[in-house]
Amino acid sequence: MLRRKSKLENRDLVILGFLLLALYSAAVFYINKLPLMGDESIHYFQIRQFMVGNYELHHALTTIPGYNLILAGMGGICNVFSVFGMRLFSSLFGLAAIGVFLLILKGMRQESGDKMILRTLQLMFLPLIGPFFFLLYTDVLSLLFILLTAFFIIKKQHTFAGLMAILAVLIRQNNIVWLIFFLALAYEARFKWKINRSNIIKGVGEFWVFLLGIIGFFFFIILNQGFAVGDKSAHPPFSFHTENLFFALFVYFWVFLPLVYCRRHKIIQLFHDWKTVSIITIAAAAYFLLFHVTHPYNVFLTEDYMRNRILALFGINLWIKGLLFIPIGLGLLTLMSQKIKNQVPFYIFSALFLLPSWLIEQRYYIIPFVLFLTYRAMEKESYEQTLVIWFMMLVAIIFWIVGGLGIFL
């Protein structure tokens, strides 16, 4: 019988590191064979512009160009201009994110070494990230800064946490939601939600970097006249859309299918509570009334993107739309039955993070899903191992779709 490790040993880290480097190397060279995909052309153009001293922004660049400036700086220092070189630099952010994720698990000190390895493998093979570890997209660097924020929150180093959260906003401005989330967690850990004059004064002194980030973002919105930097018509400010909430639950069901199966008895028990029935009924009504695929990038780019092909199914007829609510409802029930640290604020801020987005895009779910992996209570080891294998199968299919069929996510 194998001995269960109570802590993460150096040998485990070495084996995990070799596995990670081997898989990363293979994936990097596989991805390098592909042409620029999706928004990569926008980011690569912007990086090259910065490298030659031209700071005019591409009209379709929607984010604050922190990602592009960092890669331009790395390329300038190393005298690298190629797509492969930039993809390689960007993939380093993924390696760093995995390392920080492991540090967070060690900092939480709640699990054995075996479970920490399983969680780390689940992040490595999380299908939602998949190719984005190796492409010119902002999401992995954004995730890295969010994870660094979570790490410094655990260490109660709030100044560094605030700085990392601000950097996350400079990569993707919707990360302002997570900045406020981590500020709320820090306040709760320090003052237990007790709001009074004394605690507020102490909080301002302790969390001033977070507050500086919120004030700075407020001025950015005023000066920029909205959230998106470019392509503003496709990303209107101060609008709210429920479609990403429902599609996130749909994606969650398929990505975490072994967990759904694992919690099947808990899900059945939930139906004995009238509150659960009421929530599912309200969710179903909202889904039929509010879920409409209307964004032009979802409607008119059906052949180029796998997500758009899936979204087209929701509009065939009401019967199919009704059938597609089954995985959505089961995903919601699984989350309701799931034990997760900071459950209520995490679900609230995840919803706030997704609601402003008109474009339905599974990349937007990367941070919520990774934080879910971080904070959730683990199931029996056999189910967790099955989840890793399931992730590996899905990632292999995704790489085949992207690389073999030429269809992007």
> Other CB atoms closer than 10 Å to residue 195's CB: what's the count?
9
**Which distant-in-sequence residues (6+ apart) come within 8 Å of 161 by Cβ?**
148, 149, 152, 153, 182, 186, 209, 210
Per-residue pLDDT of the chain (409 residues; tens, 9 = 90+): 344 555 655 676 777 778 778 888 888 888 888 999 999 999 999 999 999 999 999 999 999 999 999 999 999 999 999 999 999 999 999 999 999 999 999 888 667 778 888 999 999 999 999 899 999 999 999 999 999 999 999 999 999 999 999 999 999 999 999 999 999 999 998 898 888 888 888 889 999 999 999 999 999 999 999 999 999 999 998 899 999 999 999 999 999 999 999 999 999 999 888 999 999 999 999 999 999 999 999 999 888 899 999 999 999 999 999 999 999 999 999 999 998 988 999 999 999 999 999 999 999 999 999 999 999 999 998 999 999 999 999 999 999 999 888 889 8
- Per 3-state DSSP, what percentage of the chain is helix, strand, and coil (rounded to 5)? 70, 0, 25
Contact 345, 181 (CB under 8 A): yes
What local confidence, expressed as pLDDT, does residue 9 receive?
59
DSSP string, 108-144: HT-S-HHHHHHHHHHHHT-TTTGGGGTSS-SHHHHHH
Q: How far apart (Å, rounded) are the C-alpha atoms in residues 328 and 347?
A: 16
Q: Show the tokens assigned to 284.
A: 């179903």
Closest CA to 342 of 228, 230, 218, 187: 187
Q: How far apart (Å, rounded) are the C-alpha atoms in residues 122 and 395?
A: 11
H or E element that contains 103: helix 83-108
The model carries a pTM of 0.94
Task: Domain ranges for the chain, please list them.
Answer: 10-404
Hey, CA dihedral for 355, 356, 359, 363, is it positive or negative?
A: negative
Closest CA to 35 of 384, 402, 380, 285: 402
Q: How far apart (Å, rounded) are the C-alpha atoms in residues 129 and 123?
A: 9
What local confidence, expressed as pLDDT, does residue 27 receive?
84
**Cα end-to-end distance, the chain, whole Å:** 43
CA angle 292, 296, 297 (to 5 degrees): 105
Contact 383, 140 (CB under 8 A): no
